[in-house]
Structure 1
């Protein structure tokens, strides 16, 4: 998988379309969750895009501290369902963690994890913080990673 990192303004219309299509495919259709994906925060984020050949198969968006949470954060972590068996979730998360450290010079990272993915995020050094909560009808928990 090839990874590109882009500011919102650097995304082509085609890249933005492909990203939003993947997010909708997984978060809205696959997870059967009606929610407002276009939240006005993409413009502040750095976009971590994973390509297999020319197809977007994995994606996250990252924020410096204060732009979403108090800490730097990673969100909208998504991998195309047909590509999950190749470990692209780990690859896109490692690229995202490295990008937070490189672009924002921050070592504490927060994310809002769907609870069924706790062990996945634990394997990347994240620890649960706080209590479980519902976000768009799906159980989540805050998680933080410190270098």
Structure 2
């Protein structure tokens, strides 16, 4: 499985740096995971994408293996945040999710040095995000009928 991960090409881009084809694939992956697989109709295109940076893991076929967006402070939360975190069905169980979060935190630290990071995480992933240093700072709440928690990664001087 690890060999598959070494084949991935990581791309950190502002929204305007995506080609139309890449942007189409991002929206296609987000729709497949968050709307179809989770059976959760909601407005995915929320106006935050043009303001955000996006981290994509592309496979050898230029398909998305994993994706997240980095939202600046003052948009979703007072702090910068990670959101729309996903791994595509074909890549689940390979460790790509761990690489995605590690690379997302690294990218966020480059963009916003020493800033705390706040996320709205699905509650079942609390232990996963906790393994990266995120701390739960809220009770469980429902977002689109899915249990979530707010979690905070403390500021770092990395």
**TM-score, structure 1 as length reference:** 0.96
- Tell me if the contact between 1:126 and 1:143 (Cα under 8 Å) persists in the aligned partners: yes
Match of 1:31 among 35, 38, 56: 38
The residue correspondences of 1:70-81 to structure 2 (distance < 5 A) are 70-81=78-89
Match of 1:91 among 75, 95, 99: 99
Match of 1:42 among 43, 49, 69: 49
Work out whether 1:69 is the aligned partner of 2:70. Answer: no
Aligned residue in 1 for 2:23: 16
What CA distance in whole angstroms lies between the structure 2 residues aligned with 1:119 and 1:51? 26
Aligned residue in 1 for 2:68: 60
- Tell me if the contact between 1:8 and 1:45 (Cα under 8 Å) persists in the aligned partners: yes
- Tell me if the contact between 1:72 and 1:106 (Cα under 8 Å) persists in the aligned partners: no
**TM-score, structure 2 as length reference:** 0.90
Residue ranges of structure 2 left out of the alignment (5+ in a row): 1-7
Q: Determine which structure has more spread, i.e. the larger CA radius of gyration.
A: 2
What CA distance in whole angstroms lies between the structure 2 residues aligned with 1:112 and 1:106? 20
Aligned pairs, how many?
Answer: 147
Higher normalized strand content (fraction of residues):
1
For residue 107 of structure 1, report the CA deviation from its aligned partner.
Answer: 3.2
For residue 85 of structure 1, report the CA deviation from its aligned partner.
Answer: 1.2
Aligned residue in 2 for 1:113: 121
